[in-house]
Amino acid sequence: MHSSIRASTSPGWRAALVVWLALPFCGPTEARAAERTRIAVMEITATRNFDKGLNTLLNELLLTELSEEWDVVGKSDIASMLGFEQQKQMLGCSDENASCLAEIGGALGAPYILSGNIGNLGKKHNINLKVLETSKSKIISRHSVIAGETEEQLVADLQKALKALMEKVPGAASKQKAEAAAKAPPPQAAAAAAPKESSPSVSKDKAAAPSAAAAATAPPAVAKQSASHAASWVGIGVGVAAVGGGIFFGKLARDSATQYGNALQNPIADGSHLVVADEAKVRYQSQTTIANVLIGTGGVVCATAILYRIFGEKPPAGAGGDAPALVVAPSTNGLSLSGSF
C-alpha cells in the first residue's frame, strides 16, 4: 500500500504544491494576525502507512487555508512558544485528551485547537478533523471524509473537509466582519438621525427657484421672434446672392452680344464668321434667360424677406402682443399681402 502511494506522487506536482502553499506567506502577516482569532494547529498525524512526505505537504496546506481567516499557530510556532516542561506535556497529549489540549491552547493564548489524523483506507484515504474550544475543554466541531485515490482528489477533499469543519467555529475574520455589519445601523437610519443644518446655498436655491420657474413658464414669443428675425436675414441674403448672380450672367450676355455684332460686321470669305455669330447668339440667349430668372427670383425673395422683417415679426395675439400687422404668402399671381397696415 505504501509503495502504491509513493508511485502516484509526481515530483513536478509536489513542487507546484509547495510554491502554491508559500504564496500566502509573502505578505505582511503581522498586520493580518493582529485582527484575527488565534487557532493552534496540531500536526495532522499519519496513520495506516500513510506517506509521511505527503502528510507534511498536507499539513502545510492546512496552515495555508486557515491563514486566510485566522491567526494560525503551527507546529514550529508551538515549539518556540512553549517551555520544555510544556513541550513534554504536549508530546503526551492525544487527540482524545481534551483537558490536556486545552492546557496547551491556554499556554499559547489560542481559544481553539485543531487536530486530526489521516490514513489509508483501501485505495482511498480517511481524513478526520476536529476543533477544541480551550475555555470549555470541549470539542465544538468534528468532520470526517473519505478522500479520493489520487493526490489531486485528496487535496480537494481536504479543503472541503476543512471548510465544513470551520463553518461551525465562531471567530473567523469574515464572520466578525459580517456580525459588525449586521450590528451597524443602515445608511438610511444614519442619515435620518444626522442633524439638519441650514445652508446659505439652500436659501439661494430657493430664492432662485421662482425666477427659474417663471423663465420656464414664460411664453415662447421671444424665441419665436428671434427665429423669424434670423429667417428674414437668411431670405435677404439669398435674394441678394441671386440678384448678384443675375447681374453676372447679364454681363456675360452683353459680351456675347458684342461678339455676335463683331462677327457680322467683319465677314470672312470662307463664311466662318457666321459660325462664330451663331455660337455667340446661342450663348447670349441662354445667358440672358439665366440672368432674368436670377434677378427676378432674387428680387422677389429679397423683397419678401424685407417686408416680413418689417411687418411680420410681431408676436401673435394671446402671447403678449397684438396680431401680426402683415402676413406675406405666395399665391398663384406671385405674392399676396394680408393683415392690418
pLDDT at 99: 80
Single out the residue of 336, 324, 337 nearest to residue 224, CA to CA.
324
Strand partners, 270: none
Residue 291: pLDDT over 60? yes
Confidence of residue 313 (pLDDT cuts 50, 70, 90): low
Task: Specify the pTM.
Answer: 0.43
Measured distance CA(246)–CA(251) in Å, rounded: 9
Q: What angle do CA 309, 315, 316 make, to 5 degrees?
A: 120
Residue 53: pLDDT over 50? yes
pLDDT at 25: 47
**Where is pLDDT greater, at 304 or 220?**
304
The chain-wide mean pLDDT, for the chain, equals 76
Residue 157: pLDDT over 50? yes
Measured distance CA(208)–CA(211) in Å, rounded: 5
Residue 101: pLDDT over 70? yes
Residue 30: pLDDT over 80? no
113 with 101: CB under 8 angstroms? yes
**Where is pLDDT greater, at 339 or 281?**
281
Strand partners, 120: 125
